[in-house]
Amino acid sequence: MKSISSAPGKVILFGEHFIVYGGKAILCSIDKRITVESELTGTGRIEIKSSLGEISVPKDAKPSEVGSALRPIAHIAQRMLSERGSESGVRVSVTAEFPSGVGLGSSSACCVAAASSIMGLFGEHTKEQALRLAIDAERTIFEDTSGADCNVCTYGGIIEYHRHGMTERLAFEPKFTLIVANSKTSHSTSDVVSKVKKYKDLNPAIFSLLCSQEERLIDDAMSALRENDLGSVGARMSQNQKYLEQIGVSNERLNSMLETVRGISYGAKITGAGDGGCIIAMTDESNLNATMNALAEKNYECFATKIDTAGLQHKVTE
């Protein structure tokens, strides 16, 4: 028997970094997925194969024996085998429709899909159960994760998220398309988070003001999203970008990419940690092609994506 689960990637429309300090964020899932296929084996080992590498370790392997990229999956397998008192091993295969490490939620989508897939080997489960296990697994590499990314990868759609949990999920079919452009610049999420903390500690009054401004901006953006007022949403994305530049998480290449789509898309900003990764631009049918062409002319790798509303999906095959 094989248990197969898939979860969508995500982008952050508003609020990255500020959510860490008690603010809010707006996230949405995208129609690019990570699929995890798992099966029980008689080897007593945890075997994982993905684009990030392959491992085969004893099922009681210590975390230090598993590289950080695959540690969450190993953690999930260990948890489920232990809870079910199973002597089996687990073989896991991961495939992705989008690149890892560029701010599109590959880690969270993988955790959610792996949690559901491996849980599915032992019976039925709910999305909420998979979500709880996924967040626990993600904390093996990101100790202070807010859970926002795993949440939107589980339930799909567009959510407003506070550090202590989801506050609202917009219940409508979005009518916009996001253009995702990859800077091809590597970055370390933990290093960028540390950089923001240093800025906050050196500039407490300014950072506090930015947090307040960001919260008001998010309230306005949620209203604009409900009305499908893409001009207003895009303008607030561009304003959010200015806040991110102020705390030091943008760079020359990202700024150049954003300048490329200025005045063509409705608005654009970085998504995720920053200092590399991707930008997103808000479009619809009226400016989609023009935005894509502007980026292509500068040789930026980009793709169009819609909002995924299905979230986590699971099936079992013989």
> What number is the average pLDDT over the span 235-264?
96
What pLDDT is stored for residue 95 in this prediction? 96
Percent pLDDT > 70 in the chain is: 100
What are the beta bridge partners of residue 25?
A: 161
Domains of the chain: 2-172+313-317 (3.30.230.10), 177-305 (3.30.70.890)
| pLDDT over 90 at 293, yes or no | yes
- Give buried/exposed letters for 219-251 (b at 16+ CB in 10 A, else e): ebbbebbeeeebebbbbbbbbbbebbbebebbb
What pLDDT is stored for residue 52 in this prediction? 80
- Report if pTM > 0.85: yes
pLDDT bucket at 173, cuts 50 / 70 / 90: confident
Place of tokens 């926002």: 148
